[in-house]
Chains A and B, each alone.
Chain A
Amino acid sequence: MKPLYWIPLLPLLGFVLNGAVALASSSRRARRGEGGERLPYGERLFHGIVGVGSVGAATVLAFGALVPWSEQAFAGRALPVVETAFTWMFAGDFSVAVAFRLDALSALMLSFVTFVGTLIHLYSVGYMQEEEGYGRYFAFLNLFMFAMLTLVLGANLPVLFIGWEGVGLCSYLLIGYYYDKDFAAAAGKKAFVVNRVGDVGFVLGIFGVLALFGTTDFSFLEAAKQQVLSGSAPLSVYAVCLLLFLGACGKSAQVPLYVWLPDAMAGPTPVSALIHAATMVTAGVYLVARTSALFVLAPDALTLVAWVGAGTAVFAASIGLAQNDIKKVLAYSTVSQLGYMFLACGVGAFAAGMFHVFTHSFFKACLFLGSGSVIHALHHEQDMRKMGGLAPRLPQTFRTMLIATLAIAGIVPFAGFFSKDQILGSVAAGGHPALYVVGVATAAMTAFYMFRLIRMTFAGEFRGTHEQEHHLHESPATMTVPLWILAAGSVLSGFIWVPMGVSNLLPRFLAPALAEMPEHHMSHGAELGLMALSLGAALAGIALAVRWYTGRPAPEHAAHRPAEEIVVSPAAAAFCGKTGLLGALVKNKWNVDEGIEAGVLGPFRGIGRVLWKGVDALVIDGIANASAFLVELAGDLLRFFTTGNVRNYALGFTLGALVLVAYVLFF
């Protein structure tokens, strides 16, 4: 087998090549005073081949490694493969190696990260072709793949952390891709800073693992499974779990650290699809699943995970109900679906959580790329109120997005149905009725806002300008082919785990890598009932959205309605409009950003002000100024000894000599 470390290294190579060529090209263009137009064909071809090729080659390598391994695994004969590249650092008996690990969990992550990653690279070839920063874009995207693959394959927490920080950096770079726009630069900064809050927890968690087990290699999980702790205080296990979960919350956008993800939509749409929907944001779920052996030792920490997940799911879904920016809807939907994944982990159904990570990566990537296709067709229009009637104009985009929407809404037999049902089933079986109700409510809301998106975008009449209507076009093949492949994934990826024992490939595959939890069995009748309930909730949401969002102006109101409400029926306006407390809160995203501004940033600014005006200006500067003043004062007084008269000096000498003599004689 090829060494595993070539899998992340190839995209890194792509990053170096793309970066070097892009830098040389941009400095040449700057010298010539050119700029603002698309790159010459040769350069675009180079970046496309290197960008897609390096990731494609990594995908081939990855599948070459994981397919044989998985066959072994299904035969029950595969052990985790660990390949050590070199020792990174050591001190005493502590050492960290740059090592990569292939086991069931990393194999699952590897499969969709490389697969979806390649498709999105391919899509970007078409989507980004008008951009001047084409080379920079592919360099960063390659760098992201390197970091993400390091994160997935890392065999110990520090290597995972390198990948973790690397994807954070690339996320920052790509959110701020349009760095000449203030909101994009600010969004990148926000993502970076909010992630730091979580990363503090993660780093402390790594130290905690080291303190508990004496190693950060994932072999500590085996020790945790046998509950072999060197300093086994349960409280410290809780602390480590909570710290790791804080890190996961930052990366995976959970309440209260979710605020960066909606703003991250300032980046190019394929970036939103790859980083902020399909792969990077699932890293937190991966972390929790990876350290599941530790989490099961701290059941109360798991309960917190479940509640944070459920809370995030319903909270983000409620905001998604009233967004008018097509990407913002998808962003809140992502936050909400990530909440589902944590909900699953929280009730101990780690496999179900990873299942949702897997299916979500297909349908959410498909949705984002579809929205990108719409935005591309409309020349960067993202406001759904100015869309409408696009179904006949963008048939491929419409069909693929509809498939993905059915998947995320949880309609049988699309992938989202199976993974969501598995989560809700585990929640119900685990005996958490309150969490179950929240989950079903979220499912209904998800179905509603997703079909609201479909209706506002594709149904009815076109509401944009004539100019836009004239230029409407279906996207090129490099964009529609990935859409169709992802749409196919949105249908098929659910069949690896069909309930009631029809297919349980995934849980069987993942079992050795996850902590064992007591299984709760339900009767087939109860299972069918729960399925019918969640399906019914989804269908209700869809029905409401289809009924409310006709895509046509309500005739009796059309004349004097503000543009914002023109697409919705009066009932929808009453619910999602600005009237009413709930509507206003949802519209303003529950005022969370303002709350953080006032509740967190305000006090910090206050502290900063005290430190600046009080400590720095008064104390620190005061000390410096006071010492200067004392020296000046002393000089002012002592200078009168310099009389200018030699005889005074001679007297001084004499007295000094007398003192010295007296000292020698008498002391």
Chain B
Amino acid sequence: MSPLPGIAPMSVPPAAFLAAGTILFVIGLIGALLKRNALSIFLSIELMMNAVNLLFLTWGRMRGDASSHVIVFFVIAIAAAEAAVGLAVFVALFRARQTIEVDRVNLLKW
């Protein structure tokens, strides 16, 4: 462990952060695959992104590399934009079909 000068040593071991991030990611993945409500899927995806953010930051810290912060800021910014577009799509979808159950929105097939 060789922190950069001026940065305090970690009291909680990095493995704990990695574990937390991985667990969050898997929870989000399962949610995204299994939930039928578009909004729930959406939230699960947000969860996965934040889990990934956490992992990025942890690895950056472990390597003493600040560029992970840059990536995380980009992810947050894009997630915000994505949230705006996604929610707008759901509103439009609900107006058209009176539902946001993804299993019932399946006309485009074969």
Contact = CB atoms under 8 A, between A and B. Distances in A.
Contacts, number: 31
B106 A650 contact: no
A642 B110 contact: yes
B109 A646 contact: no
A232 interface: no
Nearest to B108: A644
A666 interface: no
A6 to B, nearest CB: 80
B107 A644 contact: yes
A639 B109 CA distance: 8
Interface residues of A, number: 11
Contact of A642 (B33, B105, B109): B109
B57 interface: no
B87 to A, nearest CB: 16
Interface string B7-51: 000000000000000000000010011101000010000000000
Nearest to B103: A645
Contacts of A639: 110
Interface of A is mostly: helix
A500 B34 CA distance: 120
B106 A644 contact: yes
B29 A654 contact: yes
A643 interface: yes
B102 A646 contact: yes
Interface string A636-650: 000110111111001
A222 to B, nearest CB: 83
B106 A643 contact: yes
Given A639-B110, A640-B110, A642-B110, A647 B29 contact: no
Contacts of B106: 643-646
Interface in A628-667: 639-640, 642-647, 650-651, 654
A647 B110 contact: no
Given A650-B32, A650-B33, A654-B33, A643 B102 contact: no
Contacts of A647: 33-34, 36, 41, 102-103
Contacts of A642: 108-110
Interface string B87-110: 000000000000000110111111
Given A645-B103, A646-B102, A651 B109 contact: no
B107 A645 contact: no
A446 to B, nearest CB: 86
B105 A646 contact: yes
Given A639-B110, A640-B110, A651 B33 contact: yes
Interface of A: 639-640, 642-647, 650-651, 654
6 contacts: A640-B110, A642-B108, A642-B109, A643-B106, A644-B106, A646-B106
